[in-house]
Amino acid sequence: MTAQVVEKRQSAARSATLTNVMVRMILLLAIDTFVFYFIYRAIGQGFLTLAIMMAVVAAFANYVLLVRDMYPIRWMLAGLILMFMFAIYPILLTVFVAFTNYGDGHLVTKLQSIDLITQARYLPEGGATYTWTGFKNEAGEYALWLENETGTFVAYPNQTLIPAAEAQDLGALDDAGIPSAIGAYERLNAIQVASDRTIQEIQFGAQDVGVQVRSAREAAQLVPKYVYDAEQDVIVDQETSDVYTADVGRWTNANGDELTTGFRANVGFANFTRFFNSPAFRGPLVRIITWNFVFAFLSVFMTFALGLAIAYLFNDPLFPGKKIIRSVLLIPYTIPSLITILIWKGMFNNQVGVINRTLESIGIAGLAWTVDPWLAKLAILLVNLWLGYPYFMLICSGALQSIPQDLYAAAEVDGANGWQRFFKITLPLLLVSVGPLLVASFTFNFNNFNLIFLFIEGGPPIANSPTRAGHTDILISYVYNLAFASGRGKEYGLGAAITIVIFVIVAVITLAQFRYTKMWEEVGEGV
C-alpha cells in the first residue's frame, strides 16, 4: 500500500469524523433551541417543576453528547431520557404535590389566579346598558351597533364609542333602523350570534368605560370587579369594598369568605397529618388498610395454591390428556383482564347474573353479591383467583421440572409418604425459585386497582363514612376516590400524600419478604 493511498484514507476518515461532529452539533443546537423555548414557556405558564425537569434532561444530554468519555452511554441516551421523563419525573412530581394544596380551586399559580380573578367585571351603579347587534368582517373582527335611551352608537374593540350619525359606510337600514353593514363589517343573524361565544369575551369601547356583551340582547358598561394591590398583596372588591388577603392558597376576607379561584401553595406535612390524625379518615382507613392486607395475602395464597396443585397433578407423566387440559386452563391468562373482570361483573349481577340464575334454578335463593360486604369480598377473591392461577400454574410447572428426581427416590427408600415428600422436598425447593415471584405478586395485588374499581368500584359503601369509602376499597382505590371521584376532584395533594404512604408500606413489606426469600434459599440448600 503506497503512502498516497494511506494519506487518502486518513483524509477520508477525518472528513467523515468532521461531518459526524457537525451533524451532531447541528442536531444538538436544534434540540437545545427547542428545549430553551419550552422552558421559557413553561416558566411563563407557572410550570416550574416541568421547566426544571427539562433543564436537567437537556444538561444531561449535552454532557453525554459533548464529553468524549461518555461515548458508551450515548447508545442508551434516548432510553435514559424517556425513563426519566415517564418514570422518575412522575414520582418526583407526586412527592412535590404531596406537600401542596393542589386540587380543585388550587390548580394555578398565584399570578395566574390573580389574572383570572381580575378578569371578572360588573355593572356599577349608573352604568349604561344597551341593546346590541353584532357585526363581523372577513378578518374575524367584531363591531357592535348599540342603542339605548341616550342614543345610538357604533363600538369597536378598545376604541371610543362613535355616534351612529358619525359612522361611515353604513348599509341599508331595516325597519328597526339597524344597518345591514358597517363598512367591511357584515351583520350577524341570530343563529350566528347564539353560536359564537367569542363576542362575549371582547371589550368594546375605551378601557375605562368599556362595553361588554352580557346576554343575547344586552350589552353593558362594565368595570373590573376585582383589583389587585401589589404593594399590600391584596385583592380589592370594588363592588363591596371587601379586601381579600392571600392565606395558604386562598384569597380570604375578614369575614372568612373566599374567592372561588385559589392558587397552589406549599402546606408542608399538612396532608400527611390530616391522613393520620383526622377522625373523618380514621374510621374507614382502619377497615380499608386491614382489608388491603387480607386481600393481597389471600389473593397470593389462593392463586399460588391452586396453580401449584394443578401443576403438581400435571407433573405426573402418566396423567392422561394433560397437554389439552393445560391449554384450556391457560385461557384466563390469554384474555385481557379488563374484559374478564367485566364478564365476571355481569355474572355476579344480583338480578340477571348467570350465577344467581343458576342458584335459583336449583332452588337456592340468589345472593346479594354487590350489596353484602362479605359476599362482595368473596366475589372479588374468586375473580382474582380465576385471573391469577394460570400464572402460578406456569411458573410452578417449570420449577417442578427443575427438582432432581433422585431426591424423591431417596425419600421413598427412607419410607417418606406423598405428603412428607411434598412438604420436605417439593415445597422448600419450589419456594427458592418462586419466592421472589410471590413477593412481586403480593406487591401487585396490594395495589390491584383495576380489579377493585372495574368489578365493584370499591362498594358496597361503608355506612356513615365521612368520606367516600367502600367495604372492598383498598388504599389505591380509596386514593382514587378522594383525588378524582369525590365529585369535584379536589384532593390531589392528599391523594399524593397517601400514595407515598402506600409506597412506604409496600417497600417495607417487600424488604421483609425478601428476607424470608433468603431464608427459603437457606432451607433449600439444606434439602
Q: What phi and psi, each to the nearest 5 degrees, are found at residue 53?
A: -60, -45
* Residue 416 backbone dihedrals phi, psi, to 5 degrees: -75, 135
Q: Nearest CA to 498 among 522, 526, 477?
A: 477
pLDDT category at 85 given cuts 50, 70, 90 is: confident
Q: Average pLDDT of 314-333?
A: 77
Q: Which residue has the cell 380465576?
A: 386
CB atoms within 10 A of CB 22: 10
Q: How many CA atoms lie within 13 A of 507 on its CB side?
A: 6
pLDDT band at 73, cuts 50/70/90?
Answer: confident
Count of C-beta atoms within a 10 Å radius of residue 173:
11
DSSP letter at 157 equals B
Mean pLDDT, residues 141-164: 89
Return the ∠ at Cα 184 (arms to 181 and 185), rounded to 5°.
Answer: 50
Secondary structure (H, E, C), 437-495: HHHHHHHHHHCCHHHHHHHHCCCCECCCCCCCCECCCCHHHHHHHHHCCCCCCCCHHHH
Q: Are 302 and 381 in contact (CB under 8 A)?
A: yes
Statement: residue 434 has pLDDT above 60: yes
C-alpha to C-alpha distance for 349 and 508, rounded to whole angstroms? 38
Phi-psi region of 457 (alpha: psi -120 to 50; beta: other; left: phi over 0): left
The cell numbers describing 339, all together, are 374484559
pLDDT for 379 beyond 90: yes
Cα within 13 Å of Cα(426), Cβ side: 21
Task: Name all domains of the chain by residue range, CATH numbers in brackets.
Answer: 12-98 (1.20.58.370), 121-224 (2.40.430), 288-337+382-525 (1.10.3720.10)
Element containing residue 303 per DSSP (H, E):
helix 279-314
For residues 115-125, average pLDDT:
86
Q: Which residues pair with 461 in a beta bridge?
A: 470
Query: What letter does residue 84 receive in the DSSP assignment?
Result: I
**Do 363 and 282 contact (CB within 8 A), yes or no?**
no
CA distance 300 to 306: 10
- Tell me the mean pLDDT in the region 384-399: 89
Band (5; pLDDT cuts 50, 70, 90)? very low
What are the helix (H) ranges across 172-239?
190-195
More confident residue, 314 or 445: 445
Res 523: pLDDT: 47
The model's pTM is 0.70
DSSP SS3 for 226: strand
pLDDT tens, 170-218? 888 888 889 999 988 999 887 777 777 788 888 888 766 678 888 878 8
C-alpha cell at 33: 433551541
Task: Render the burial of 262-273: b for 16+ CB within 10 Å, e for the rest.
Answer: bbbbebeebbbe
Residue 124 · residue 131 · CB < 8 Å? no
pLDDT for res 520: 52
CA 370 – CA 509 distance, rounded (Å): 30
201 DSSP 8-state letter? G
Q: Are 221 and 210 in contact (CB under 8 A)?
A: yes
- Phi-psi sector, 136: left (phi>0), alpha (psi -120 to 50), beta: beta
pLDDT at 130: 92
- Phi/psi at 74 (5° precision): -60, -30
Answer with the residue of higher pLDDT: 92 or 330.
92
Helix (H, G, I), strand (E, B) or coil at 132: strand
pLDDT, position 401: 83
Residues 476-504: pLDDT tens digits?
Answer: 888 888 777 765 557 788 888 888 888 88
Which class for 296: exposed (0-12), middle (13-18), buried (19 or more C-beta within 10 A)?
A: buried
State the Rg of the chain over Cα: 35
Bridge partner residues of 57 (DSSP) = none
